[in-house]
Structure 1
């Protein structure tokens, strides 16, 4: 894997959004009274519930950020085994340090900086009887979600002696009302520009029915989805706007604040114009 020669797109900048010692970096599942860290943890717990995370879970976490969710899986769900891959160099190094500092030395050694496109080539993954694959608020950034789904199915299918083999996502999808020619070319153009700026491949933004079909075509069964758009898109923007002064001060650079502000404007536009939705999706592999 080539080392980054320019500033990383996925870095440690979300630290300024967090309270306490958090480094969370997702859009959050918002309830009244939440701050950013609480909302991000809430989204992680929604995903954990969708896949029934438990002490028998042997987890591969793809796109684990700075490690907050890894610590949550280990501390609160007492999972049996953890490994993970993450594209960002700086995030992965920090996550390894945080796991080691918390006493999870084996887990720290089992998470690596890597691209999900080589998932099926990792012996750390393929030899450990992984029964749960997680992608928390990140799969829309993958070079190909379809390849990730297919590779995950192969990994889960070969896990021995396990009746609960599950994959789970929290993810952005295309609203059915925006599919095909149902939106104007101006909205389609704006969507494509924003996806490019956000480093989201256009082919990853598909309708829920297309998403479910990809899972089924890979071999997954019992596909379950839940639309949580109302708890994600607008509340994230409302919170960010309410914290504008403190975040600007913490950010230092105007470009850092603008990154978050533009994100909230885009998500609000996509939500209000029924272009994008936010979902939790899980599916199982039959033993």
Structure 2
């Protein structure tokens, strides 16, 4: 695998080992945006939900956001909290397609907040999209504020996730819905150290041990927090392998290569070497949609 990727992992581990917040901020600051979103038309930061007909990561990433909006049952007039919103693409999608009254976004990464706010200002929707910096485990909102609390492929970063579940329960209105798309080990006895590909070095460097557990434990923790109507569905077959195949395929696509800036193709090719090791890691990881309700 690419030596540069290994060095990034070492850098992350060495410069922010004691501060969980800074650890995640650094993770999302290490890769330059022009490389992370090379050849992209959106700034979604997820692996995508690869429905039949999805041709690229932008379509799949939007399909995943749309799936979460559907499962959360975001409705016209709802007040929604999106925790760990990335650049906020899904919030603009939900505003357009599901017409909530207002979406509040919370994120600990300052440049993500700035990016989302700037887009909301450009599109004239600052009155309906409120993006701010803050912690998922100490939500700066009053009790019983939101109809839906959602987290799209990020709750594994929250330290610990159980604190977020409790905070989400507090700020949900009675009858409100928590909807989370999350990453878990397929087998909870698998150690994090078993993941060896550079693409998943972040699991060793940024994931809280308390978050490394299976689906049954996830549901038990939701129940302990007071939630009812629990469900956990694995969608890994529509996520990991189609994503991997797409990333490998596009690096040999002449149109994609021609659109890259000098040096980008070489860097991306190095990052995506060692496919056998990556496949082994993907077999160890689950990808789930989790739903729960605050009793009404």
| Distance in 2 (alpha carbons) for counterparts of 1:251 and 1:33 | 31
The answer to whether the aligner puts 1:93 opposite 2:105 as a matched pair is no
Partner of 1:10: 28
Query: C-alpha distance in 1, partners of 2:122/2:240?
Result: 34
Deviation string for 1:19-74 (max 9, x for gaps)?
Answer: 3xx11110100024421111001111111111111113210000111110110111
1:80 maps to which residue? 101
State whether residues 134 and 168 of structure 1, in contact with CA within 8 Å, keep that contact through their aligned partners in structure 2: yes
Relative distance call for 1:188 and 1:149 in structure 2 (3 A) is closer
Residue pairs, 1:47-66, within 5 angstroms: 47-66=68-87
Deviation at 1:142, TM superposition (A): 1.6
Any unmatched runs of 5+ in structure 2? 1-20
Counterpart Cα distance in 2 of 1:46 and 1:37? 14
Distance 2:278 2:261 in 1: 23
For residues 273 and 158 of structure 2, the distance between their equivalents in structure 1, rounded to whole angstroms, comes to 21
Runs of 4+ in 1 over 6 A off after TM superposition: 3-7, 262-266
Structure 2 matches for 1:185-200, cutoff 5 A?
189-191=193-195, 194-197=201-204, 199-200=206-207
Alignment of 1:74-223 (within 5 A): 74-108=95-129, 110-119=130-139, 122=140, 125-126=141-142, 129-156=145-172, 159=173, 164-175=175-186, 178-180=187-189, 189-191=193-195, 194-197=201-204, 199-223=206-230
Task: Decide whether the 8 Å contact of 1:233 with 1:267 is kept in 2.
Answer: no
Q: 2:289 aligns with which of 275, 280, 283?
A: 280
Aligned 8 A contact 1:195 1:201 in 2: no
Change in CA separation of 1:263 and 1:286 when aligned onto 2, cut-off 3 Å: farther
| 2:273 paired with 1:257 | no
Among residues 62, 81, 103, which one is paired with 1:41 in the alignment?
62
State the TM-score, normalizing by the size of structure 1: 0.81
After TM superposition, give the deviation of residue 127 of structure 1 in Å: 6.5
Cα distance between partner residues in 2 of 1:260 and 1:142: 26
Question: Secondary structure of 1:103's partner?
Answer: coil
Q: 2:246 aligns with which of 239, 244, 248?
A: 239
Aligned partners of 2:266, 2:159: CA distance in 1, in Å?
Answer: 25
RMSD: 3.1
Aligned mates of 1:88, 1:36 — CA distance in 2: 23
CA distance in 2, matches of 1:100, 1:264: 41
Contact between 1:145 and 1:204, CA under 8 Å: does it hold in 2? yes
Deviation at 1:9, TM superposition (A): 2.1
Cα distance, 1:27–1:198 mapped onto 2, change above 3 Å: farther
For structure 1, the residue ranges without an aligned partner over 5 or more in a row are none
Say if 1:29 and 1:260 are closer, same or farther in 2 by CA, change over 3 A: farther
* Aligned twin of 2:50: 30
* 2:27–2:202 contact (8 Å) kept in structure 1: no
Partner SS state of residue 112, structure 2 = helix
* 8 Å Cα contact 1:234/1:267 also seen in 2: no
